[in-house]
Amino acid sequence: MKNIIVTGGAGFIGSNVVHYVVNNHPEVHVTVLDKLTYAGNRKNLSGLPADRVELVVGDITDAELVDQLVKEADAVVHYAAESHNDNSLKDPFPFVQTNIIGTYTLIEACRKYGVRYHHVSTDEVYGDLPLREDLPGKGEGPGEKFTSETAYNPSSPYAATKAGSDLLVKAWMRSFGLSATISNCSNNYGPYQHIEKFIPRQITNILSGMRPKLYGDGKNVRDWIHVDDHSSAVWTILTKGRIGETYLIGSDGEENNQHVLELILELMDQPKDAYDHVKDRVGHDLRYAIDSRKLREELGWIPQFTDFREGLADTIKWYTENKDWWAAEKEAVEAKYAKNNQ
């Protein structure tokens, strides 16, 4: 694959995979297709070589533009999405437009030109799992976790539109022979993540002299993975994965939200109880957990960033050293949350 398109490549997870490809696969040229909504940022691609990375500002629902780009590509890796649950509860329409219509537009172009397609999705399509206080330790068996056979049961408009996009891809593979794979990943963290998200919001609150916020009792569990591990997993699936298969990406990183917030406070030399509880999000999923054995055993992928405390410390360091990347947006983001007492 010499020429790939990364949709949403100026966003958090997408830009990290662009950096990964540039750093590890010098033979590959990347075209980034990004609408540059509030979650996309040109700065996320700064410093990358102009002869290796081209940014095209455009909408994935623009069929003419998508057609022009896809016919010159060897593969499309589709990250672009409206992805914030709180926003989807306030206005679901952009999620339907981008996540469903946008995916349809891309897979139709890939079908037309016989281009390899990889669809990046989320574990939220599966709904949630029962809470358990005794979270699995590293190296333990999978216990009750999501697998590629888990039935879809989305809770929010965001998750429902991602589930819909997954099902479109599955149908296009079966009905039209689309050369595609799907991955569903657990919660990412790391550099370039928008400050509306849980971990960067807490970090930037502390750096801004504001008290962090915790939904409800904070017992909800997320399965955290460093964004660099997500990038390496997607590349592995793109180059080694079996066409028609779904692979789940996770690194056994289950932590409840209260523990994550208190660890952030500890690492930033703050009292562990220096935060406020706010009303819980409507339909807040209880627990996510990924069984990634298929990806590891079939394709040989291994996560590298398995020490969550160390990864979190590096993430705190990045936001501390890159205040100019997020500071201008901080007031507006917090004002939006304050409207909902969050």
DSSP annotation of 272:
T
| 108 three-class SS | helix
On the 0-12 / 13-18 / 19+ scale of CB atoms within 10 A, 50 is exposed
Give me the helices (H) in 25-74, please: 63-70
Among 117, 158, 215, 288, which one carries the catalytic annotation? 158
- Going across the sheet that includes 221-226, the strands are 187-189, 221-226, 254-256
Establish whether 123 is a catalytic residue. yes
Among 34, 59, 82, 123, which one carries the catalytic annotation? 123
Among 34, 82, 124, 229, which one carries the catalytic annotation? 124
Beta strand segments in 58-153, E: 75-78, 116-122
Establish whether 124 is a catalytic residue. yes
- End-to-end CA distance of the chain, in Å? 45
121 phi/psi in degrees, rounded to 5:
-130, -165
Tokens of 189: 């963290």
**What's the rounded Cα separation, in Å, for the pair 97 and 157?**
12
- Report the chain's C-alpha Rg in angstroms: 19
Place of tokens 């705190």: 316
Q: Which active-site residues does the annotation give? A: 123-124, 158
